[in-house]
Amino acid sequence: MLEIFIYPVSAVMKLWHVFLHSTLGINDSLSWVLSIFGLIIVVRGLITPFQWLILHSGRMSVMLRPKLRALNDEYADVIEYKKLEEKEKREKDLKREYNYRVSAGCIPPLIQIPVFLGLYQVLLRMARPKNGLETTVHEPIGLLTSDDVSQFLHARFGNVPVSAYIAMSPEQFGRLGTTYEEVVVFVFPLLVASALVTFINMMISVVRNYFTVDHDSAIAVAITRMLVVFAIIVPFILVKIGVDGPVPAAIAAYWVANNLWTLIQNVAIYLVLFKKYPFDDELRSFQKERRAERMERSREKRKFIWQRRLALIGFVIAPWWIPAHRTRLAEANQHFAAKKAEKRETKLANKEKRNQRNASRKQHWREERLEKERQKKAQQEESADQAET
């Protein structure tokens, strides 16, 4: 399936090589090295508008949040179809005012992900050919011929072949005409730089999410917390994979250039969005209020969780205070039971409200259909009367 995306990506890489080598007269080895960065420039440049759509859509959804919340609260208990239709119209008007479309945040990733996979697969297959590094005949990759792959494998960053990686055996280093020390000196700083830029990218997302997260969504809050953990762990994983795994110098260079492009691109877009669509006081106070409520719920939950844990531990380490432990345990269990019952009641109430709204909607559609049938019948009778006269 990836072959579909490998062909256009390989075509871009080959065109860069032809332009650099045949037109500008750059030597063959350097042309293939530079074509890696040219490939990134073209592919990422084409995808930049979609990244703008994603981040713009996210910004607009945040700015709409307090207004949509107020609208939902206003119509929270409404059952009548006409009123619900009015709510939907007001919601559409709000989204139109902010130029917000749900599809703007959903469709671009469907385009980006296959392109990224094609980009990575081309470089990976070029640097680690299927037939191995020792053979002189290689399987074509997209529009890149066997000769193209061979020429790419002979390209070098200084004295380091693009296909060399740290975890190679001494025999493999010898066949490529390089040494372990030369590869480490070149590749390891690239891995560290890639990890550092990745960390900065992820921390920028963490800071952005801190101010924009939907505090009423448990999933959004959990994702934000996970992102903090990933921002710390992922850079170390990248370095570990690069040192112990078969990550060629070409892939290491690609990681640095690609991550650096992502950093510059996202920072530029964030600055434009921040200046063009600043958060107003209403949004800031709304986010502050929702965060305070979430923190209060979290503190209350932790309080009773620890109260129950300490009570259970107390039965073991301080059995002479069993009555007090039982009281605290019962209080904590009662709190959680009440919260569970409240959640169940809210769920049932919402279900009942949905059923009533659906019934109102069906009734409205039924009345509309009957009205259309009456009008049609009246028109037929009128036509028949005119025909008789």
Q: What is the 8-class DSSP label of residue 157?
A: E
Q: Classify each residue of 342-373 as buried b or exposed e, where b means 16 or more C-beta atoms within 10 Å of its C-beta.
A: eeeeeeeeeeeeeeebeebeeeeeeeeeeeee
CA-to-CA distance for 285 and 264, rounded, in angstroms?
31
- What are the phi and psi torsion angles at 156 (to 5°)? -140, 150
Give the pLDDT confidence of 169-190 residue by residue, as tens digits: 888 888 888 899 999 999 999 9
Residue among 8, 5, 17, 6 nearest 147 (CA): 17
Domain match, 19 and 133 both: yes
More confident residue, 373 or 337: 337
Both tokens of 189, joined, read 């700083």
Residues 141 and 7 in one domain: yes
317 and 267 in one domain? no
Give the CA angle between residues 261, 264, 108 to the nearest 5°. Answer: 70
For the chain, give the percent of residues with pLDDT over 90: 45
Query: Distance between CA atoms of 112 and 108, rounded to whole angstroms?
Result: 6
Span 320-339, average pLDDT: 93
Q: Is the pLDDT of residue 109 over 70?
A: no
Based on the fold, state whether residues 19 and 138 are members of the same structural domain: yes
Question: What integer pLDDT is reported at residue 166 of this predicted model?
Answer: 92
Same domain for 378 and 327, yes or no, is yes
Q: Cα(80)–Cα(357) distance, rounded to whole angstroms?
A: 7
CA distance 224 to 209: 7
Which tokens in the block code for residue 208?
């952005």
Query: Does the pLDDT of residue 239 top 70, yes or no?
Result: yes
Q: Please write the tens of the pLDDT for every residue from 2-41.
A: 677 788 888 888 899 899 988 898 888 889 889 888 888 8
Together in a domain, 228 and 296: no
Q: Note whether 74 and 56 are within 8 A (CB).
A: no
Q: What is the mean pLDDT of residues 348-356?
A: 91
- d(CA 173, CA 154) in angstroms, rounded, equals 13
> What does the pLDDT look like over 252-306, one tens digit per residue?
998 899 899 989 999 999 999 999 999 989 999 999 999 999 999 999 999 999 9
Q: What is the pLDDT of residue 106?
A: 64
Q: What are the φ/ψ torsions at residue 144 (nearest 5 degrees)?
A: -85, 125
Calculate what percentage of the chain has a pLDDT beyond 70: 94
Main-chain dihedrals φ then ψ at residue 384, nearest 5 degrees: -65, -40
Type of residue at 295 = M
Contacts 24+ apart (CB under 8 A), 273-280: 273/55, 273/56, 273/59, 277/59, 277/60, 277/63, 279/62, 279/63, 279/211, 280/63
Taking only Cα atoms into account, the Rg of the chain, rounded to an integer number of angstroms, comes to: 31
Residues 35 and 92 in one domain: yes
Residues 132 and 49 in one domain: yes
Q: How many domains does the chain divide into?
A: 3
Write down the residue that tokens 């997209």 correspond to.
142
Q: How confident is the model at residue 232 (pLDDT cuts 50, 70, 90)?
A: very high
Query: Given 138, 154, 170, which residue is the final one in a domain?
Result: 154
| Angle, helix 28-74 to helix 146-153, in steps of 10 degrees | 100
pLDDT at 59 over 80: yes
Residues 167 and 261 in one domain: yes
pLDDT value of residue 140? 84
- Whether the pLDDT of residue 336 is over 90: the answer is yes
pLDDT of residue 117: 76
Residue 309 bridge partners (DSSP): none
Domain span at residue 58 reads 1-154
- Say if residue 100 is in the same domain as residue 165: no
Domain-ending residue, one of 116, 134, 154: 154
Q: Are residues 292 and 204 in the same domain?
A: no
Q: CA-to-CA distance for 226 and 218, rounded, in angstroms?
A: 12
Please state, rounded to an integer, the average pLDDT across all residues of the chain: 87
Distance from C-alpha of 167 to C-alpha of 116, rounded to nearest angstrom: 25
Strand partners, 141: 144
Residue 108 has pLDDT above 80, yes or no: no
| pLDDT mean over 60-86 | 91
37-54 pLDDT, tens digit per residue, is 888 888 888 888 888 888
pLDDT of 104 over the 80 cut = no
Cα separation of 382 and 198, whole Å? 75
Last residue of a domain, one of 154, 178, 194: 154
Counting every residue written for the chain, the total comes to 389
- Residue 169 has what pLDDT? 86
Average the pLDDT over 52-63 and give the result: 90
pLDDT of residue 107: 61
Q: Are residues 144 and 175 in the same domain?
A: no
